[in-house]
Amino acid sequence: MAATNLSRRSLLTVGSVGLVAGVAMLSGCAPTPSAAAKSGALVTALSNVPVGGSFNVDLDGNALVISQPTAGVVTAFSSICTHQGCKVGGRDGVLLCPCHASEFSITTGAPTTGPATTALAKLEVKIDGPNIVVA
């Protein structure tokens, strides 16, 4: 009988964690790149990011999309869509979510076409010689 109670408790705990995560995702909370991205950490080579385009990378478990809106200006955002968590990628000068077609600015990360209404979480980056690093 005790094993049954423990099992129910475990299920309730797992269910509660899943519910909280699901509510956060549906409420449009932007996942923030973790503090594990330390200042000076290599993000990618600048040559990987086309001018006017984007490049997806994983930095210490953070799914990021790096853009270069104009030559010598770089931006980095979480690539996790603020609508329901699909992974966005660059296409035709915007960040496009393949799930429900939200589009985000490669300059600001703000949504330009819904259903997403919240901007992608930003990570400050800078150019350091031939590379893009965490600012």
- Note the residues at the interface with ligand FES (CB under 6 A): 81, 83-86, 97, 99-100, 102, 115-116
Instruction: Write down the least CB distance from residue 46 to ligand FES, Å.
Output: 28
**Whole-number minimum distance, CB 88 to ligand FES, in Å?**
7
Which is closer to ligand FES, CB of 86 or CB of 127? 86
As to burial, measured by CB atoms within 10 angstroms (0-12 exposed, 13-18 middle, 19+ buried), residue 3 is exposed
Residue 50, classed as helix, strand or coil, is coil
Question: CA triplet 34, 40, 46: central angle to 5 degrees?
Answer: 100
**Could you tell me the smallest distance in angstroms from the CB atom of residue 49 to ligand FES?**
22
CB of 65 to ligand FES, least distance (A): 13
Widest CA span of the chain, in angstroms?
67
Alpha carbon 135 to its chain centroid, in Å, reads 17
Q: Note the Cα 51 to chain centre separation in Å.
A: 20
Nearer to ligand FES, 87 or 122 (CB): 87
Judge contact between 101 and 94, C-beta under 8 A.
no
Q: Which is nearer to ligand FES, 46 or 116 (CB)?
A: 116
Pick the closer one to ligand FES by CB: 18 or 73. 18
Residue closer to ligand FES, measured from CB, 77 or 83:
83
Q: Count Cβ atoms below 10 Å from residue 41 Cβ, excluding itself.
A: 12
Shortest Cβ 92–ligand FES spacing (Å)? 16
